[in-house]
Structure 1
Amino acid sequence: METVSIVLFLLLAVVVSGAISRILPFSIPTPLVQILLGAIIGLSTSHRVDLDPELFLFLFLPPLLFLDGWRIPKDELLKDVSTVVELALGLVLLTVVGMGFFIHWMIPAMPLAVAFALAAVVSPTDPIAVSAIAARVPIPKRMMHILEGESLLNDASGLVCLRFAVAAALTGTFSAGAATLNFLWVAGAGLVIGVVVTLAVTRAKAFVTKRWGEDTGSQILVSLLIPFGSYMLAEHIHASGILAAVAAGVTMTFAEISRQTMATTRMRRNSVWDMIQFTLNGIIFVLLGEQLPGILEGAHQTVALTGHVSPWWLAIYTIAIVAGLALLRFAWVWASLHLTILRKTQRTGEMQSPEWRLVAATSFAGVRGAITLAGVLTLPLALNDGTPFPARDLAIFLAAGVIVVSLILASIALPFLLKGLTMPPEPSKQAEEDSARIVAAHAAIQAIERHQHALAEDRGEADLYATAGARVMDLYRERIEGLSGHQADEARAGSRLASEFALVGVKAERATLAQLIRDRLVSGGTARKLTRELDLAEARYRG
C-alpha cells in the first residue's frame, strides 16, 4: 500500500507541475517545478523511494530511447548528420576522458574509474528539458533537430561508456584493446538485435492482421513491448540494451511505412506514447527531487569522502563540473561549426562566420536531465567482493547538482540568446508538400472513378453513384487547382480562413452538444460518437 501511495503522489506531482509551469506569469522550466514538488514530497513523508538501479534502468530508459528513435525526423537528421555525429560521439568521448581526469584530479578520493563513470553520465544532453526551458522562446527548427539527433546518439554512447567505467570499477582492471573489442560486440550486437526484433515483430503483426483483422489494443500493446523485448534480449547476450532500444525505434519508422496500421490505431497509439513520454520524464525529475532531501542529509558524510568538512565544497565541485562541461561544449561547438563552414566554403566558395549567439545557444542547450539521473542511479550498490561501491553517494550528489544547475543556467541564458536568433536559411518544403498533395489527389480521383463504375455495373443506379462520386471528386479537383500555379498562395490563405471558420463552427457544435447532454436529450452512446467526430474535425482543422 505504501508503494502504491508513493506512485500516486509522484503521478499527481507530474500533473500539478505542468499546471504550475503554465500558470506562473514568469517562465520556470517544468523540470525545475517537478524537482521542487518531488523535494516537497520527500520532506513531507517518512516514506522514501528505494530505487533498484537495474529496475530503474529497465523501466525508464528503453521506452524513452525507443520513442526518441521512432519520432526523430530522419531526413532532417541526415541533413546535419556530420554535425550530429561530431557532437554525439566526439564530444561525448572528449567529455568522458577530459572530465574524468578533471574530476579525479579535483577529488582524489574518487577513484578514476568512478570519475569516468560520473563523466559518462553527465555527458548526455536532454532535448525535452531544453524544449521546456525555451517553450516561450521557440528554438529554431534546425537547431532543435540537431539537439534531438545529438541527444539520441549521445544517450547511447554515454551510457555505453558508463558501462565500461562501471566494469573497470568492479574488476579494478581496464584494457584498451579488450575494451575496443568488447565495444564493437556490445554496440554491433545491440544494434542488430534492435533491428531484427522490430522487423520480426512487425512482420508477424502484419501477418496476423492480414488474416484475422486488426485489434487496436493489441497493436498498441505490441508497440509498448518492442523496446523492452529488444533491451532484454540484448542484455541477455551481454550486448547493449540501450542501443537495441534506439535501433528498434529507428527501425520502427521504416517498418511502419510498408505495413500500414489503421488510422484509429495510429491515433490512439500516438496518444498512449505521448502519455508515457510525459509521465516517465516527469516521474524521473520528481524522483530526483524526492531523493534530494536524503542526498542533502548525507551531505556531511559525503563531503567527508573528499577530505573536507564544510558541505559547501560539494557546491564548489558541482559548479566546477558544470563550468568544465560548458567550456568543453563551447570549444567543441565552435570548432565543429567552423569545420562545417570550412567544408561548405570549399564547395561553394562562400565564407560565412557563425554568429556568436548561435554558438553560445547551442552550448547552453546542452542541459542534463532524465538520462543523466537514470544513468547515475544505476551505479552498483556494492563491488564484486561485497564492499560498498566507492563514492557512489558523492557521484549521485554531483550528478543531481549538475542537472539542477544546468537547468537553472539554461533557463536564464537560453531565452536571451534565442530571442531573434536566426539559423542559416533552409529551402522551403512547401513545393514538396504541394506536389505530394496533387499526386495523392489524382490517385484519389482515379480510385473513386473505378469504384463508381464498379458499383454502377454491379447494382445499377448509375446516376446516384455518379452524383455522389462527382461531389467528392470535385473537392479533390479544387485542391489540385488551388495548389497549381499562381493560385497556390491564394488557396493556402483561403484554406487557413476556411479552417478558422470551421473551428468556430466546431466550437459552436461542441457547446450545443454539451447543452444537449446536460438536458439529457441524447444518450451516452450518441454523445460519445458525436464528441469523437468533433474531436477528429478539430484535430484536422488545427493540423
Structure 2
Amino acid sequence: MDSVELVLAMLLAVVASGYVVRMLPFPLPLPLVQIALGAVIEGVFGHGVTLEPDIFFLLFLPPLLFLDGWRIPKVGLFRDKSTILELALGLVVFTVIGAGYLIHWLVPSMPLAVAFALAAIVAPTDPIAVSSIASRVPIPPRLMHILEGEALLNDASGLVCFRFAVAAAITGHFSLASAAVTFLWVALAGIASGVAITLAISYAQRSLSRRFGEESGSPVLINLLTPFGAYLVAERLQGSGILAAVAAGITMSYVELSGRALATTRVRRAVVWDSVQFAFNGIVFVLLGEQLPDIISGALRAAEASGGERGLWRLASTALAVSLGLLLLRFIWVWVSLRLTLLSAKRQGHHVNVSKFRLVLATSLAGVRGALTMAGILTLPLTLANGRPLPGRHLAIFLAASVILISLVLASVALPPLLRSLKLPEEPADAAEEDFARHEAAVAAIAAVEQSSHQQAHQHIDPEIHSSAADHVMGIYEHRLAGGVAGSMDPAKVRMADQSERAFRLVALHAERDTILQLARDERISDETARKLLREIDLVEARYR
C-alpha cells in the first residue's frame, strides 16, 4: 500500500508543480519546482523512493524518447545531421577526455578511471530536460531541432564511454579497439531493433485488424507498448535500448504517413500520449528531487569529516568548477564547429548572417543535464574487483547531481535574455508550405466531391437536396481557394440535407488526407506541417463520424 501511496504522491506533486509555477511572482522553470517538491517528499515527510537505475531506464525512458523521436521534425533532423552528429559523438568524446582530466585534477583522491566515468555520464544532454526548458524559454526552432537531435543521439556514446570507464576502474584494463567495436554494435543493434520492431508490430496490427477487426482502444495500447518492445529487444542483443526507442519513434513517424490509422484513433492517441508525456516528464524530475537529500547529506558528512567547514566550501567549489568546466568545453567545441560550418558555407557561396558569440553561448547553455545522468551515475559499482570500496563513488554521485541542478539554473536564468532577438539562418517558409498544402488538399477535395456527386446522384430521391449538399461542401473549399463567400442552404432543408452533406464531407476529408500524406511522402512538405494539418482533418472527421 505504501508504494501505491508514493506513486499517488508523486503524481500529485506533478500536478501541484504546474500551479506553483503560475503562483510564483518570478519565473521559475517547471523542472526545478518538481525537483524541489521531490526533495520535500523525501526530506520533510521521509517518504521517498530509492531510484533503481534498471527500472528507471525501462519504465520512463522508452516512451519519452519514442515520443520525442516521433515528433521531432525530420526535415530539420536530416538537414542539420552533420551538426547534430558532431555534438552527439564528437562533443561527448571531447567532454569525456577534457572533463575527466579536470575532475581528476580538482579531486586527486578520485582515480582517473572514476573521473572519466563521471565525465562520461555528465557529457550527454538530457532530451527530457531540454524539452522541459524549451517549454519555458523561447528557443528558435532551428536551434531547438539541433538540441533535440543531439540529446536523442548522444546518450549511446556517453553510456558506452561510461561502461568502459567503469570497467577500467574495476579491472584496471582498457582497450580502445574493443571500445570502438562495442560502440558500433551498440549503436547499430539499437537502431536496427527499433526500426524492425516498429515495422513488425505495425504490419502485424494491420494484418490482424483487417482480418478480424479490433477494439477501439487496441491501436493506442499497441502504440504505447511499442517503445518498450524495441527497448527490451535491443537490450537482449546488447545494443542501446535508448537508441532503439528513438529509432522506433522516428520509424513510427514514417509509418504514420501510410494513412491507415483511423481519424478517431489518431485523435485518441494524441491525447493519451500528451498525458503520458506530462506525467512521466514530471515524475522523472520528482524522482530526481527525492534522491537529493540523501546524496547531499552523505556528501556533507564526508566533507565535515575530512575538513569541517573548509571541506564544505571545497565541496561546493568543486561542484561549481566541474559545471563551469563542462560549459567551457561545450563552448569551445560549438565555437570551433560553427566556425568550420560558416567557412564551408562561405566557400559554397552562401551568405549566412548570424551572431556567432551569442549563438555559441546559447547553444552551450542549452546543453542541460537531467535524470538520465542521475540514473546512470547511480549504477557505479560499490566495490572494486578485489572487494575494496570504489574510491570517490559518493563524491561522484554528488557532483553529478550538482551538474544537473547548476545546468538547469543557468539555462533557465541566462537563456531568455540571450535568445532575445537572436537571428538564425532561416528555415523553409512554414507559412508558405502550409498554404501550399491547404491549396492542394482543397483542390483534391472539390474533385472528390464532384466525382462522388455524379456517382451517387441516382440514389437520391430529391436531386435538388443532393445537389445543394454537394454545392455546400464544395463551397467551403472554394472559399479556401478563391476567398469567396461559401453559399448557405435553406434552413428548412438543412435537416433533410444533413445526411448527404455528411457523406460528401467525409469524402472530401478523405481526399484531403490522402493528398497531405502524399505530399509528405514525396517530401514536398515537412512531416511537422503534415502532422498539424492531419490533426485538423482528424478532428473534423471525428465530429462527422
What's the TM-score once normalised by structure 1's chain length?
A: 0.84
How far, CA to CA, are the matches of 2:392 and 2:67 in structure 1?
33
Q: Which residue of 1 aligns with 2:233?
A: 233
Per the TM alignment, residue 157 of structure 1 is displaced from its structure 2 partner at its CA by: 2.4
Q: Which residue of 2 aligns with 1:262?
A: 262
When structure 1 is superposed on structure 2, of 68-77 and 153-162 the one drifting more is: 153-162
How far, CA to CA, are the matches of 1:53 and 1:21 in structure 2?
29
Q: Which residue of 1 aligns with 2:522?
A: none
Instruction: In structure 1, give the amino acid aligned to 2:237.
Output: I
Matched ranges for 1:372-391 at <5 A: 372-381=373-382, 388-391=389-392
What's the TM-score once normalised by structure 2's chain length?
A: 0.84
Structure 1 residues 305 and 357 mapped into 2: Cα distance closer, same or farther (>3 Å)? Answer: farther
How far, CA to CA, are the matches of 1:302 and 1:90 in structure 2?
35
Gaps of 5+ in 2: 486-535
Structure 1 residues 352 and 47 mapped into 2: Cα distance closer, same or farther (>3 Å)? Answer: closer
Per the TM alignment, residue 319 of structure 1 is displaced from its structure 2 partner at its CA by: 0.6
Listed one character per residue, the Cα deviations across residues 363-403 of structure 1 (whole Å, up to 9, x for unaligned) are 11111123222322333455566655543322221111111
Q: Which residue of 1 aligns with 2:162?
A: 162
Structure 1 residues 342 and 256 mapped into 2: Cα distance closer, same or farther (>3 Å)? Answer: same
Listed one character per residue, the Cα deviations across residues 510-538 of structure 1 (whole Å, up to 9, x for unaligned) are xxxxxxxxxxxxxxxxxxxxxxx9x958x
Q: Which residue of 2 aligns with 1:415?
A: 416
**Equivalent residues of 1:17, 1:30 under 8 A apart:** yes
Per the TM alignment, residue 194 of structure 1 is displaced from its structure 2 partner at its CA by: 0.9
How far, CA to CA, are the matches of 2:162 and 2:381 in structure 1?
12
**Equivalent residues of 1:95, 1:119 under 8 A apart:** yes
CA RMSD of aligned residues (A): 2.7
| Structure 1 stretches of 4+ moved >6 Å | 304-309
**Equivalent residues of 1:341, 1:352 under 8 A apart:** no
Q: Which residue of 2 aligns with 1:431?
A: 432
SS, match of residue 310 in structure 1: helix
Per the TM alignment, residue 34 of structure 1 is displaced from its structure 2 partner at its CA by: 0.9
**Equivalent residues of 1:109, 1:307 under 8 A apart:** no
Q: Which residue of 2 aligns with 1:323?
A: 324
Matched ranges for 1:168-207 at <5 A: 168-207=168-207
Q: Which residue of 2 aligns with 1:42?
A: 42
**Equivalent residues of 1:381, 1:388 under 8 A apart:** yes
How far, CA to CA, are the matches of 1:377 and 1:236 in structure 2?
22
How far, CA to CA, are the matches of 2:448 and 2:352 in structure 1?
51
Per the TM alignment, residue 286 of structure 1 is displaced from its structure 2 partner at its CA by: 1.2
How far, CA to CA, are the matches of 2:190 and 2:342 in structure 1?
34
Structure 1 residues 385 and 48 mapped into 2: Cα distance closer, same or farther (>3 Å)? Answer: farther
**Equivalent residues of 1:123, 1:158 under 8 A apart:** yes
Q: Which residue of 2 aligns with 1:502?
A: none
**Equivalent residues of 1:189, 1:239 under 8 A apart:** yes
Listed one character per residue, the Cα deviations across residues 325-373 of structure 1 (whole Å, up to 9, x for unaligned) are 1101111111111111111100116474634222211111111123222
Per the TM alignment, residue 131 of structure 1 is displaced from its structure 2 partner at its CA by: 5.2
**Equivalent residues of 1:121, 1:162 under 8 A apart:** yes
Listed one character per residue, the Cα deviations across residues 202-260 of structure 1 (whole Å, up to 9, x for unaligned) are 11111122223343321111111111111111111222212211111111111121253
**Equivalent residues of 1:117, 1:162 under 8 A apart:** yes
Listed one character per residue, the Cα deviations across residues 489-523 of structure 1 (whole Å, up to 9, x for unaligned) are xx9xxxxxxxxxxxxxxxxxxxxxxxxxxxxxxxx
How far, CA to CA, are the matches of 1:183 and 1:96 in structure 2?
15
Instruction: In structure 2, give the amino acid aligned to 1:79.
Output: R
**Equivalent residues of 1:53, 1:380 under 8 A apart:** no
Instruction: In structure 2, give the amino acid aligned to 1:38.
Output: G
Q: Which residue of 2 aligns with 1:292?
A: 292
Q: Which residue of 2 aligns with 1:280?
A: 280
Q: Which residue of 1 aligns with 2:512?
A: none
Paired-residue identity, %: 58
Query: Number of matched residues?
Result: 490
Structure 1 residues 131 and 237 mapped into 2: Cα distance closer, same or farther (>3 Å)? Answer: closer
Structure 1 residues 442 and 352 mapped into 2: Cα distance closer, same or farther (>3 Å)? Answer: closer
Whether 1:336 aligns to 2:337 is yes
How far, CA to CA, are the matches of 1:334 and 1:222 in structure 2?
44
How far, CA to CA, are the matches of 1:153 and 1:59 in structure 2?
19
**Equivalent residues of 1:61, 1:374 under 8 A apart:** no
Per the TM alignment, residue 440 of structure 1 is displaced from its structure 2 partner at its CA by: 1.3
Q: Which residue of 1 aligns with 2:18?
A: 18
**Equivalent residues of 2:156, 2:186 under 8 A apart:** no
Structure 1 residues 280 and 205 mapped into 2: Cα distance closer, same or farther (>3 Å)? Answer: same
Q: Which residue of 2 aligns with 1:211?
A: 211
How far, CA to CA, are the matches of 1:381 and 1:51 in structure 2?
15
Per the TM alignment, residue 164 of structure 1 is displaced from its structure 2 partner at its CA by: 3.0
Structure 1 residues 181 and 132 mapped into 2: Cα distance closer, same or farther (>3 Å)? Answer: closer
Listed one character per residue, the Cα deviations across residues 265-302 of structure 1 (whole Å, up to 9, x for unaligned) are 11221222222222222112112221211112212454
SS, match of residue 334 in structure 2: helix
**Equivalent residues of 1:38, 1:290 under 8 A apart:** yes
Q: Which residue of 2 aligns with 1:310?
A: 311
How far, CA to CA, are the matches of 2:306 and 2:209 in structure 1?
61
Whether 1:150 aligns to 2:147 is no
Listed one character per residue, the Cα deviations across residues 459-487 of structure 1 (whole Å, up to 9, x for unaligned) are 554333221111101111111223xxxx9
Listed one character per residue, the Cα deviations across residues 43-94 of structure 1 (whole Å, up to 9, x for unaligned) are 2223331222211221122222111111111001122222211112111111
Per the TM alignment, residue 427 of structure 1 is displaced from its structure 2 partner at its CA by: 3.7
Listed one character per residue, the Cα deviations across residues 96-137 of structure 1 (whole Å, up to 9, x for unaligned) are 121122212322332333222211221122355455446555
Q: Which residue of 1 aligns with 2:527?
A: none
How far, CA to CA, are the matches of 2:306 and 2:156 in structure 1?
30
Structure 1 residues 102 and 132 mapped into 2: Cα distance closer, same or farther (>3 Å)? Answer: same
